[in-house]
Structure 1
């Protein structure tokens, strides 16, 4: 069995290949059932969470067990380490069932998240999108921005709430060469000129007003939200056309969802209906299909 490290994951992945691997996965017949999480009781009334997301090739449908894989992502969240999940991906041979790879799940997750958000932007943002506003920050931001640039010709990025370390990382990112990167503290004015807005996470500067409750993007803007639990204005959620990665388990079942990535990639439902429409993407809870596709892609290239 191969043990594939984070460095090896990075070495065999690039944004365009990730995007197309995910697109093909949503068009495929991969099977990714929902499995309940396991609660882990800890001390002082706290609890952790152990989640499993299995997926496998459609062996019966393809009438062949000689090709394909069975895999599962394992994610452990403990209250003693908030916001720091530990994860692995285990890949098994579809023919003999023997384990063939154990992959750094944390690094795989970063690539998968960036790829899914970029794939959504490819279908939902306007083709002439060039100005991006990023509200908040996340360690995944360099990977995410690099993925965005594979689907849209972004020439201007405004950052609201990014820390000094994030700015330093972005300034040295080859994918952002030639892109103007600026900083703003006025989110309300900055959003007026944005073609696309990324809600990346909490701001690093506590003195800055996040003002998501007053978020009012211009007509035609695409809003990409990384945290499915983000507190977004009700008016925006009611007015924008809403999309997610997997509507078999939507982020909020009370909202009216237009389509998910399977609908969009297979052409079953439309994304943006007209130029001035506002679109909004929230990630779903399930990622078994996407994780399986990327894990198989990594295994074949290491």
Structure 2
């Protein structure tokens, strides 16, 4: 899809339900792939936080990005973990999109919905470049707010997936995710099961997507069979880890942007421990989308670290604006 580079006569507002209506994963993944065919400078984010009386930390983040002479923008997002007890999302925000040639505002987009679609599509693009096309079994580790979109994105780019296994510490959330999937087209012609034995489920999976805030590795390298693709969405801080060092050492490792993934515990911990060197990280999406080989053989284990970034929000916002002009 060709993305717009000129500004509109009026500012477009896109709320969450509208974004959900106009977006679809195959075209978003393709838009992200096209956007990664030209490397860009990924700007630093700004993070503010305040400690609450209960010891938790509320955060306010600004994630800017600028595609020269095309578009620029920033996501303003809050992270208030106590919101979960109030029935509210822990992460909320907006994205402001501007025309880079004139500085004219183009769109204000619901940042919560944009983050769900951006994050899931980022991992799906990584999977499209690294997982086996004949993958049949998807294991979802974590059943939080992003899990439904992550499953939908993986199924969109790997339609041969016929089994979905769901593991979560809370059975209630796992059940809610299973029921939601079964009540959509995603559940048609597929088996969707909740699992309690993570080791057994890991051994069966062809693709594993992890969406947790665990600080202790959940997936052990010894459990993962040859040929598996492992997608790591959670674990975005140096303290968080979803997989152990032996898995990282066994795998061909990639991520969405080289500098950002080095800030995440799943790669930082084995680097500090000496289990791997920086050269073990073979490339990022910009490399993969411009021809770097991902999987060499069907027996390779591949790991993709999804560390986010304002550039991905910008790419997704461009896509949403393009879809709005077509609607």
Runs of 4+ off more than 6 Å? none
Q: Larger deviation: 126-135 or 225-234?
A: 225-234
Q: Which residue of 2 aligns with 1:57?
A: 67
Q: Which residue of 1 aligns with 2:314?
A: 292
Q: Larger deviation: 290-299 or 252-261?
A: 252-261
- Partners of 1:79 and 1:155 in 2: how far apart? 35
SS of residue in 1 equivalent to 2:156: coil
- Partners of 2:130 and 2:156 in 1: how far apart? 14
* Residues paired across the two proteins, number: 286
- Partners of 1:179 and 1:48 in 2: how far apart? 40
1:261 equivalenced with 2:285 (yes/no)? yes
Q: Which residue of 2 aligns with 1:63?
A: none
1:271 equivalenced with 2:278 (yes/no)? no
Deviation string for 1:163-203 (max 9, x for gaps)?
Answer: 22112101012133111212322222232222122223379
Q: In the TM superposition, what are the counterparts of 1:121-200 in structure 2 within 5 Å?
A: 121-152=127-158, 153-161=160-168, 163-200=174-211
Match of 1:37 among 34, 38, 47: 47
Contact 2:74 2:95 in 1 (8 A): yes
Q: Which residue of 2 aligns with 1:75?
A: 77
SS of residue in 2 equivalent to 1:301: helix
- Partners of 2:39 and 2:227 in 1: how far apart? 33
Give 1:100 deviation, angstroms: 2.4
Structure 1 gaps of 5+ residues are 60-67, 204-209
Give 1:265 deviation, angstroms: 0.7
Contact 2:221 2:246 in 1 (8 A): no
TM-score, normalised via structure 2 length: 0.79
Summarize the Cα distance change of 1:212–1:57 in structure 2 as closer, same or farther, 3 Å threshold: closer
Higher percent of residues as helix: 2
Let me know the Cα RMSD of the aligned residues.
2.4
- Partners of 1:275 and 1:80 in 2: how far apart? 44
Summarize the Cα distance change of 1:128–1:37 in structure 2 as closer, same or farther, 3 Å threshold: same
Q: Which residue of 2 aligns with 1:101?
A: 107
Structure 2 gaps of 5+ residues are 1-10
Contact 1:29 1:58 in 2 (8 A): no
- Partners of 1:102 and 1:175 in 2: how far apart? 30
Contact 1:103 1:295 in 2 (8 A): yes
Summarize the Cα distance change of 1:259–1:39 in structure 2 as closer, same or farther, 3 Å threshold: same
- Partners of 1:99 and 1:41 in 2: how far apart? 34
- Partners of 1:138 and 1:46 in 2: how far apart? 19
Q: Which residue of 2 aligns with 1:62?
A: none
Match of 1:242 among 253, 259, 262: 253
Match of 1:282 among 305, 318, 321: 305
